[in-house]
């Protein structure tokens, strides 16, 4: 290859020239864009027992697209396009009854790769641009070779259930080349006509899977050879990809369902009978029906900021406020949730559904000590309630195994042979009822919060009665049986843990706060559903649950007794990534400046002491953004948000960088931003509770509040100037802003402008 190519590829002189050309394109405010291809180690490497995650990888640089079933990471290399594919249910693993965190637990797997090698590769590439437009959920790659222009477009259609690529060239016959599918488990692909088929079985659990790739050329010809498709002299071509496994959320059948061949074939044949334009329109209409519900405007960025490609721009944004890039990151989490979690899919795991390796970090599992929960924080306030449905369906499918795990563990036994009720969880979960690593027993209560919030925002009382309340009540029964009474009558969680550090002992604040929250919410649900005796019982228990104390330097205690001589614990030098003992501030609501000012002050002391250095990770900053917002400090909340743009916290493609990549920080910040603009956990709707000075003038539309409300807000020079409130339930509410309060009662479907007396 020529020196010019390598200068371009490594970001040299030609790369800077391309950057200048790309800058003139004035990208959409909601687009990630780059002036060079992504880089990755070739192929798929590593095994579940020996993970290998390269510093430059598909996960850190590829542009993510997904339709909740399958996903792609677009690398955009002109000389050899590479798209890493993932499938939500492509997992090694079993039910793992022993709880051992070994190969039996399994790991999220790669589906494989699509590779396209042009017929006449040329390294003299100019005007290169690679982008992901969030508004249209479409990735694009464009460049020139000589006078010829080339474009590649990629999207994942939820309505069609397929991934769609289109390659075009300005000159006739410019899209010849070889297209192949490389299976993630080395199953040979077969090619016939214009279709590639690859069907295999995972060795450890017998999981059947299949991928089909169909190519539709325009002009030229196509032939199948050696498992590949060879295109000769094509003007353009469309690639359709469908994939499936035999996974079914049915524990009675060991999570095996029908062979995927029939459904995969149906999907790809139906897509092949539909025009490219119709596929794209249906995809974009469907996506925008969710994504378009919420908008943000935090003010304009400078022309100099907007001229930078995203990888360079984000680094500057960590130092200098870049309002439009902050909007993009806030919306990116919503884009990703829509793309990887919709009814019918598995929930988002530690990587969402994106994969470039068979050795996913932390097995790509469901971590129940915050990470799985953080994935779903933005669903309700971010107006994506449908995206939470996979979480509830997943939990329902796992419950039989979670119950068995408790019954089979002597540590969970009750005195006098009392029968066990309910269930508990370990930290790591797979899709087959398997669990691994430490017990995190109160995770059952943390997940209960998601059931309650789904009702609190959405108001479906039938769903609460049939789905939410039974889960919440069963968790309460577990804790009714397992709480320990102290001599003074207070109740504590025995042998509890504060993830992920410190001793295991009675009354750890994290566990206490979750149980307090559980009893409070379940009592409220019982009242709504007419179960008065249960509500009274749970309220009485809640009032006995020990409350966290305040330590010698004004901090909220993480353990019942201060660890003054235990090294990092309960000291200002404890910079641990978790702030588990602040659950009661967010996502819980036991501690607040209005209701419990002394505890809120102590929580702020603890939060400040955790600091921004050392063990802090990208999802830590997302959580801390929400925590400072709940503590009504917009400046500190924004400072935490801004940390996410640094090189240590986000990848070049803005995925969270733990390291290595994990996705919960993307979801966490998408939830934290609404907390800065609208809060409703107290029952009132508090407007602009933590607005930072970095956003002096702006707006937000479509934010959801508990009680079935949607709110639009406008502000100028840091002051509320207008807005609208809409009611879906038809309930009363109290609006609060800057010391003023207004009581409203709206009919179902009614909207009102915010009263001017608030301004």
Residue 13: in which H helix or E strand, if any? Answer: helix 13-23
Domain assignment present for residue 689? The answer is no
Cα separation of the two ends of the chain:
64
- Residue 429 sits in the same domain as residue 492: yes
- Residue 612 sits in the same domain as residue 660: yes
The total of other beta-carbon atoms located within 10 Å of residue 758's CB is 18
Residue 143: in which H helix or E strand, if any? Answer: strand 138-145
The total of other beta-carbon atoms located within 10 Å of residue 677's CB is 25
Domain assignment present for residue 694? The answer is no
Considering the entire predicted model, what is its pTM?
0.94
Question: Which pLDDT belongs to residue 738?
Answer: 94
Do 128 and 18 meet the contact criterion of CB atoms below 8 Å apart?
Answer: yes
- Residue 589 sits in the same domain as residue 611: yes
- Residue 232 sits in the same domain as residue 166: yes
- As beta bridge partners, residue 735 has 685, 742
Domain assignment present for residue 321? The answer is no
Tokens of 422: 């309910």
Do 247 and 257 meet the contact criterion of CB atoms below 8 Å apart?
Answer: yes
Place of tokens 């563990």: 409
- Residue 560 sits in the same domain as residue 663: yes
- As beta bridge partners, residue 65 has 72
Q: Name the region of 581 (left: φ>0; alpha: ψ -120 to 50; beta: rest).
A: alpha
Do 689 and 680 meet the contact criterion of CB atoms below 8 Å apart?
Answer: no
Do 184 and 112 meet the contact criterion of CB atoms below 8 Å apart?
Answer: yes
* 217: phi then psi, degrees, rounded to nearest 5: -85, 155
Closest CA to 5 of 128, 123, 117: 123
- Residue 513 sits in the same domain as residue 560: no
CA dihedral 352, 355, 361, 364 (to 10 degrees): 40
The per-residue pLDDT for range 696-724, each reduced to its tens digit, is: 999 999 999 999 999 999 999 999 999 99
Of 546, 577, 601, at which residue does a domain stop?
A: 546
If one counts the domains in the chain, the total is: 4
Give the sign of the dihedral formed by CA 282, CA 283, CA 285, CA 286.
positive
Do 500 and 558 meet the contact criterion of CB atoms below 8 Å apart?
Answer: no
Do 741 and 735 meet the contact criterion of CB atoms below 8 Å apart?
Answer: yes
Question: Which pLDDT belongs to residue 759?
Answer: 85
**Residues 220-252, buried b or exposed e (16+ Cβ, 10 A)?**
bebebeebbbbbeebbbbbbbbbbbbbbebebe
Domain extent at residue 80: 3-294
Do 39 and 651 meet the contact criterion of CB atoms below 8 Å apart?
Answer: no
- Residue 525 sits in the same domain as residue 586: no
Q: How many residues does the chain have?
A: 759
Question: Which pLDDT belongs to residue 41?
Answer: 60
- Residue 447 sits in the same domain as residue 484: yes
**Alpha-carbon distance 641 to 673, whole Å?**
9
**Alpha-carbon distance 622 to 662, whole Å?**
13
DSSP state of 537: H
CATH number at residue 429: 1.50.10.10
pLDDT averaged over 10-residue windows placed end to end, the chain, 759 residues: 32 34 59 94 42 63 97 96 97 86 88 94 88 98 95 98 98 95 97 98 95 97 97 97 97 96 98 98 98 98 97 97 98 98 98 94 95 98 98 97 90 86 95 93 98 98 98 98 97 95 94 98 98 98 98 95 73 90 98 98 97 91 98 98 95 93 97 98 97 98 98 98 95 94 94 90
Tokens of 447: 């997940």
- Residue 149 sits in the same domain as residue 172: yes
Question: Which pLDDT belongs to residue 51?
Answer: 36
Tokens of 33: 């864009």
Domain assignment present for residue 347? The answer is no
Burial of 532 (0-12, 13-18, 19+ CB in 10 A): exposed
Domain assignment present for residue 299? The answer is no
Q: Are strands 190-192 and 162-169 parallel, antiparallel or unpaired?
A: unpaired
Closest CA to 446 of 383, 485, 391: 391
Question: Which pLDDT belongs to residue 565?
Answer: 65
Question: CB-hemisphere CA count at 13 Å for 498?
Answer: 26
**Alpha-carbon distance 369 to 392, whole Å?**
17
Of 242, 267, 294, at which residue does a domain stop?
A: 294
Do 532 and 472 meet the contact criterion of CB atoms below 8 Å apart?
Answer: no
Closest CA to 367 of 348, 382, 380: 348
- Residue 282 sits in the same domain as residue 162: yes
Do 724 and 751 meet the contact criterion of CB atoms below 8 Å apart?
Answer: yes
CATH number at residue 258: 2.70.98.50
| Radius of gyration over every alpha carbon of the chain, rounded to an integer in angstroms | 26
- Residue 504 sits in the same domain as residue 379: yes
Give the sign of the dihedral formed by CA 661, CA 321, CA 681, CA 388.
negative
**Alpha-carbon distance 320 to 322, whole Å?**
6
Of 499, 516, 546, at which residue does a domain stop?
A: 546
Do 546 and 491 meet the contact criterion of CB atoms below 8 Å apart?
Answer: yes
- Residue 629 sits in the same domain as residue 723: no
Do 546 and 490 meet the contact criterion of CB atoms below 8 Å apart?
Answer: yes
Domain assignment present for residue 210? The answer is yes
Domain assignment present for residue 733? The answer is yes
Question: Which pLDDT belongs to residue 411?
Answer: 84
Domain assignment present for residue 611? The answer is yes
Do 481 and 422 meet the contact criterion of CB atoms below 8 Å apart?
Answer: yes
* 572: phi then psi, degrees, rounded to nearest 5: -65, -10
CA dihedral 578, 581, 582, 587 (to 10 degrees): 80
3-class DSSP string for 54-110: CCCCHHHHCEEEECCCEEEEECCCCCCEEEEEEEEEEECCCCCCCCCCCCCCCCEEE
Question: Which pLDDT belongs to residue 568?
Answer: 57
């Amino acid at each position: 290859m020529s020196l010019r190519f390598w200068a371009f590829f490594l970001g040299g002189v030609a790369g800077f020239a391309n950057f200048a050309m790309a800058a003139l394109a004035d990208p959409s405010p909601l687009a990630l864009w780059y002036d060079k291809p992504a880089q990755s180690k070739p192929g798929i490497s590593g095994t579940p027992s020996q993970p290998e995650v390269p510093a430059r990888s598909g996960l850190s640089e590829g542009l993510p697209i997904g339709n909740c079933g399958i996903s792609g990471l677009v690398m955009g290399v002109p000389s050899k396009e590479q798209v890493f594919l993932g499938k939500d249910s492509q997992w090694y693993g079993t039910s793992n009854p022993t709880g051992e965190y070994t190969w039996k637990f399994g790991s999220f797997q790669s589906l494989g790769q699509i590779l396209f090698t042009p017929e006449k590769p040329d390294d003299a590439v100019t005007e290169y641009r690679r982008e992901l437009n969030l508004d249209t959920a479409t990735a694009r790659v464009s460049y020139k070779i000589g006078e010829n222009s080339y474009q590649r477009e990629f999207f994942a259609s939820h309505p069609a259930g397929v991934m769609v690529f289109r390659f075009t060239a300005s000159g006739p016959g410019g899209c010849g080349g070889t297209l192949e599918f490389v299976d993630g488990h080395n199953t040979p692909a077969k090619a016939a006509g214009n279709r590639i088929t690859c069907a295999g079985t995972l060795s450890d659990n017998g999981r059947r899977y299949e991928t089909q790739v169909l190519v539709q050329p325009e002009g030229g010809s196509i032939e199948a050879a050696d498992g590949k498709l060879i295109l000769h002299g094509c003007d353009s071509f469309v690639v359709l990809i469908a994939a499936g496994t035999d996974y079914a959320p049915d524990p009675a059948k060991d999570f095996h369902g029908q062979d995927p061949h029939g459904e995969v074939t149906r999907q790809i044949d139906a897509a092949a009978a539909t025009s490219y334009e119709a596929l794209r329109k249906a995809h974009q209409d469907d996506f925008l029906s969710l994504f378009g519900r919420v908008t943000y405007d935090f003010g304009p960025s400078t022309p100099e900021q907007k001229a930078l490609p995203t990888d360079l721009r984000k680094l500057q944004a960590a130092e200098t406020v870049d309002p439009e890039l902050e909007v993009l990151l806030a919306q990116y989490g919503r884009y990703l949730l829509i793309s990887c979690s919709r009814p019918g899919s598995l929930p988002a795991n530690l990587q969402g559904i994106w994969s470039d390796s068979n050795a996913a970090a932390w097995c790509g599992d469901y971590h129940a000590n915050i990470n799985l929960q953080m994935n779903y924080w933005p669903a309700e306030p971010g107006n994506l309630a449908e995206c939470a449905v996979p979480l509830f369906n997943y939990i329902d499918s796992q419950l039989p195994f979670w119950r068995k795990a408790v019954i089979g563990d002597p540590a969970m036994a009750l005195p006098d042979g009392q029968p066990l009720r309910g269930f508990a969880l370990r930290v790591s979960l797979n899709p087959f009822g398997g669990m691994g690593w430490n017990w995190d027993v109160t995770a059952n209560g943390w997940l209960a919060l998601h059931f309650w919030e789904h009702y609190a925002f959405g108001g479906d009382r039938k769903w609460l009665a049939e789905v939410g309340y039974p889960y919440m009540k069963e968790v309460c029964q577990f804790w009714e049986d397992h709480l320990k009474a102290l001599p003074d009558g207070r109740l504590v969680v025995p042998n509890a843990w504060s993830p992920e550090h410190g001793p295991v002992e009675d009354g750890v604040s994290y566990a206490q706060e979750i149980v307090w929250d559980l009893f409070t919410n379940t009592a409220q649900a019982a009242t709504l559903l007419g179960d008065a005796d249960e509500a009274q019982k749970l309220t009485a228990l809640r009032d006995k649950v020990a409350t966290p104390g305040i330590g010698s330097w004004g901090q909220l205690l993480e353990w019942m007794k201060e660890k003054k001589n235990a090294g990092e614990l309960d000291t200002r030098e404890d910079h641990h990534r978790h702030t588990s003992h602040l659950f009661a501030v967010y996502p819980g609501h036991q501690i607040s400046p209005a209701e419990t000012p002394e505890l809120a002050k102590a929580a702020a002391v603890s939060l400040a002491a955790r600091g921004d250095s050392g063990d802090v990770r990208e999802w830590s900053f997302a959580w801390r953004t929400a925590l400072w917002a709940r503590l009504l400090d917009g400046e500190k909340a924004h400072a935490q948000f801004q940390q996410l743009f640094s090189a240590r916290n986000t990848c070049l493609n803005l995925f969270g960088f733990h390291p290595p990549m994990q996705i919960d920080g993307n979801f966490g910040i998408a939830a934290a931003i609404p907390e800065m603009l609208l809060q409703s956990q107290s029952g009132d709707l508090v407007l602009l509770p933590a607005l930072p000075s970095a956003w002096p003038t702006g707006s937000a539309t479509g934010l959801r509040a508990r009680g079935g409300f949607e709110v639009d807000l406008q502000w100028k020079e840091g002051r509320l100037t207008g807005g609208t409130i809409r009611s879906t339930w038809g309930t009363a509410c109290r609006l609060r802003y800057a010391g003023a309060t207004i009581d409203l009662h709206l009919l179902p479907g009614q909207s009102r402008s915010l009263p001017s007396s608030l301004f």
